[in-house]
Amino acid sequence: MYSLRRFASKHSKAYEVVYKFVEPPILASLTWLNKVAGDRFDKPITWMEKHTKGALFDCQMCGNCVLSKTGMTCPMNCPKTIRNGPCGGVRANGNCEVKPEMKCVWVEAWGGASKMRNPQEIELVQFAVDRSHQGSSAWIRLAKERDKEKQDRKQAAIAEDVS
Amino acid sequence: MNKPIDNHDNEHHPYVDNPGSPLPPKEGHVSQGRFERVLRDGHFAVTSEIAPPDSVDADEVYRRAALFDGAVDAINATDGSGANCHMSSVAVCALLSHIGYSPILQISCRDKNRIAIQGDILGAAAMGVCNVLALTGDDVSSGDHPEAKPVFDLDSVSLLTTIKTMREESRFLSGRKLDLAPKVFAGSSINPFVPPIESRVLQLRKKVEAGAEFIQSQYCFDMDILKSMMKRAVDMGLTEKAFILPGVGTLASAKTAKWLRSNVPGVHIPDSIVKRLEGAEKQKAEGQKICVELMQQVKEIEGVSGVHVMAYRQEEFVTEMVDASGVLDGRKAWAPTGWVDTART
């Protein structure tokens, strides 16, 4: 898994292209599924997300996914779970202070981000994770948020038309 | 001297009566502390740090702080540095603030979650603490309690956001209102000397954007790296928004230097420094000489506002070294002269 995860950071650009391609259909199907079936499929979807992202990125299911902003590198693999890394303890060879045999997650992240279309995304301040989302699906949450934004925009447009 | 500190009303406690009282509020200043004032007045500031004692002896805290009298504008109180247990930084800072020192409260995210940290910020500010340094912290595995549970609920940048939220919006992260916001000067640390070196200045910018008003750095023994980072920081306008105080240190011997760089992650000491120590007759004195030279070199760099002197187990030489460097330009840092131990006399 560690090698797959490092592969993702190294080939962040290719992963970004794939992500841009598959994200809309995944979110659209989740939105549709949520409308017709409610939360009945949340468990299998979460299971699927856990195993896909787990295999590809060593995803820890924090439920606050920022992969696309951190060079396709999951920051939850940092022993300090830093969201705005790296810390000051990185070894001269770029390895982790806590796990000397592991490449620093954030060295990988900055490297990955530099290859992506929006390399500045990693420079945005990320507030600490909402720990109550641990173990839940970031996909479902994102789908719901996007849908709500869409509905809100619709409402606003209607309100504007009426006035 | 033992009057309570009242943040609400400075009028009753002008600092001639009680050096621990907050200074009168000043336009453009976020805190009512001496450290921010020194920096905003344009002076080159010197900070140092004390290791909190393994003891309940408050006098020991005062004795350690007094070693810096006249040479240091603010004293960092480390928060379980190296993940080793000591007296809490909140307590050390409260003791020091009470007699007028301007301590910097180091908060490490390793040991406390956001509930405890916000409580500490309020408590510390209530006891007169005016400066907070946000740190992620060393992992528990490097300290004397490796079996402890690491918390890391926040990281240093999230902690800066938290401080700014409490101070500027007068609320907890939850949204619940504060009756009186903590007016603390917020800082954080950087380490420009370890990978990814190219991105370190961007991370500095992130910290400044999150609310860092001053920055202290890890040991700087490599001037070239520091200079190139500072140049980029100046170009990005970061030195207009935050005061940058690079860290310098004393090395007791070449052996210490080698031990530090191979055992303490994040410490970068070039071979040239180790060789210079090895070649010296009196290595300890040479280490101090190097420290003095580093202070002088740091002061010459554009955009630098001060220097942070780390002299672990050589604290008694800090005053001497600062004097020898001349970085204060003859200025005497404030110190509570004539302090009396009222409980014992």
Give pLDDT tens digits for A33-89.
988 988 889 999 999 999 999 999 999 999 999 999 999 999 999 999 999 999 999
Q: Is B157 on the interface with A (CB under 8 A)?
A: yes
Sign of torsion, CA B197 B202 B203 B207? Answer: positive
A83, A87, A123: residue with CB nearest B158: A83
Is B278 an 8 Å CB contact of chain A? no
Distance from CA of A82 to the nearest CA of B (A): 6
Which among A84, A89, A128 has the least Cβ separation from residue B206? A84
pLDDT given at position B1: 43
Write down the pLDDT at residue B17.
Answer: 55
Interface contact A79, partner B, CB < 8 A: yes
Determine the pLDDT at residue A155.
92
Q: Does domain B10-246 have CATH number 3.20.20.70?
A: no
Contact criterion met (CB < 8 Å) for A83 and B155: yes
pLDDT recorded at residue B343: 44
pLDDT at position A160 is 86
Q: Please indicate if any CB of chain A lies within 8 Å of the CB of B190.
A: yes
The pLDDT, as a whole number, for residue B14 is: 42
pLDDT cut 90: percent of chain A above it: 80
State how far residue B59 is from chain A, nearest Cα, in angstroms. Answer: 33
- Give the residue ranges of chain B where pLDDT is below 70: 1-17, 338-345
- Which residue of A89, A93, A111 is in closest CB contact with B266? A89
Quick check: B203 contacting A, CB < 8 Å?
yes
CB distance B190–A88 less than 8 Å? yes
The pLDDT value recorded for residue B234 is 98
Query: How many other C-beta atoms can be found within 10 angstroms of the C-beta atom of residue B344?
Result: 6
CA distance to B44, B132, B168, B210, B340, per residue, from B164 (Å): 25, 11, 6, 8, 37
The set of long-range contacts for A147-150, using a CB threshold of 8 Å and a minimum separation of 24, is A147/A31, A147/A34
Task: Please give the tally of structural domains in chain A.
Answer: 1
Structure tokens at B315: 């604290």
pLDDT at B10 (0 to 100): 46
| Residue to substitute from B114, B117, B142, B157, interface A, most A β-carbons within 10 A | B157
Which pLDDT score, from 0 to 100, does residue B20 have? 81
- Torsion sign over Cα A61, A64, A70, A72: positive
Kindly identify which residue of chain A lies nearest to residue B270, measuring between CA atoms: A92
Residue to substitute from B194, B206, B232, interface A, most A β-carbons within 10 A:
B194
Contact, B308 vs B48, CB < 8 A? yes
The range of the structural domain enclosing residue A146 comes to 2-162
User: Reduced to 3 states, what is the DSSP secondary structure of residue B154?
Assistant: coil
Residues near B137 by beta carbon (within 8 Å), at least 6 away in sequence: A80, B79, B80, B83, B108, B109, B110, B111, B152
Dist. CA A149–CA A152, nearest whole Å: 5
Enclosing H/E stretch for A53? helix A42-57
Is B195 in contact with A104 (Cβ distance < 8 A)? yes
Nearest CA in chain A to B143: A98
Nearest to A97 among B139, B153, B268 (CB): B139
CA distances from B299 to B197, B236, B322 (A): 22, 20, 12
Q: pLDDT tens digits for B77-123?
A: 999 999 999 999 999 999 999 999 999 999 999 999 999 999 999 99
Contact residues, chain B, for A62 at CB < 8 Å = none
Parallel, antiparallel or unpaired: strands B214-219 and B243-249: parallel
Residue of B nearest to A84 (CA): B157
Of B150, B154, B206, the CB nearest to A128: B154
